[in-house]
Amino acid sequence: MKDIETRSDIETLMRAFYKRVFTDKVIGFIFTDVAHMDLEHHLPIITDFWENVLFNTGVYKGNPMEPHFDLNQKVPFEAEYFERWLSLFCETVNENFCGEYANLACMRAKSIAAIMQSKLALINQGKLH
């Protein structure tokens, strides 16, 4: 297997990942029933995000926390949701890629999940606005 090397590789990864997520019994409903996520609309945005995370391109200009804060208002994110997201993400990476950037993607996903989980927990406790 090859490593994640290009934007096209990231798009391939994201398509495979979201295919799994949308049908997942634990977190799928968040993407399909709560967020009503349109993958074709979201794909360039999430690809920009991960291209920046992995290759430091600067192409992503958004705030990745904001939409998740909004979703958390509709369905409070449980610890098991983060665990499942991370598990599906790394499984998808490892089934499609191998190498330095594949490993980095899983490490960064773990960090992102931890940061997001801690910030959302503070919001749910009323300690962060």
Mean pLDDT of the 26-48 span:
96
Q: How far apart are CA 53 and CA 123, in angstroms?
A: 25
pLDDT of residue 69: 87
Q: What is the mean pLDDT of the chain?
A: 94
Q: Does residue 43 carry a pLDDT above 90?
A: yes
pLDDT digits (tens, 9 = 90+) for 103-126: 999 999 999 999 999 988 887 777
Mean pLDDT of the 3-7 span:
98
- Domains, the chain, ranges and CATH? 7-124 (1.10.490.10)
Burial 28-45 (b: 16+ CB within 10 A, else e): eebbeeebebeeeeeeee
The identity of residue 125, as a single letter, is: Q
Q: Does residue 60 carry a pLDDT above 80?
A: yes
Place of tokens 């927990």: 121
- Give the count of alpha carbons within 13 A of 91, CB side only: 12
pLDDT digits (tens, 9 = 90+) for 65-81: 888 888 988 998 889 99
DSSP output for 23-45: H-TTTHHIIIIIS---HHHHHHH
The identity of residue 68, as a single letter, is: H
DSSP output for 113-126: HHHHHHHHHHHHTT
pLDDT of residue 123: 78
pLDDT of residue 103: 98
